């Protein structure tokens, strides 16, 4: 079976150069093609961290943000890549405290 995640990528600059590399024949990574070109809805992309680290090493001055939303409720995250390094940030779901004045 597997776990599906919706991916979205944002690039601060040099998107055309990155797309030229990703869409080139020397790169045979269909996941990168799908995500960077906006073709992917849901994927089982288990190697996304490794693939994104590699792209960020090739374009070391570019901040690349990969957003993900998994099939389980609350599985929402962002991963930031720059020069082969990564920062992971996970959504925090919070609720307001009970306030009797808010009852309608």
pLDDT at 38 (0 to 100):
87
pLDDT at 68 (0 to 100):
95
Domain ranges of the chain: 5-102
Q: Rounded to whole angstroms, how far apart are CA atoms 16 and 23?
A: 10
Residues of the chain falling short of pLDDT 50: none
pTM, rounded to two decimals: 0.86
Handedness of CA 44, 50, 54, 57 (dihedral sign): positive
């Amino acid at each position: 079976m597997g776990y599906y995640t919706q991916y979205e990528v944002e690039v601060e600059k040099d998107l055309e150069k990155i797309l030229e590399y990703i869409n080139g024949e020397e790169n045979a990574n269909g996941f990168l093609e799908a995500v960077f070109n906006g073709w992917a809805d849901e994927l089982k992309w288990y190697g996304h961290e490794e693939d994104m680290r590699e792209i960020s090493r090739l374009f070391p001055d570019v901040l690349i943000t990969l957003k993900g939303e998994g099939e389980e409720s609350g599985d929402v995250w962002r991963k930031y890549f720059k020069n082969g390094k990564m920062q992971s940030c996970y959504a925090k779901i919070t609720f307001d405290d009970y306030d009797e004045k808010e009852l309608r």
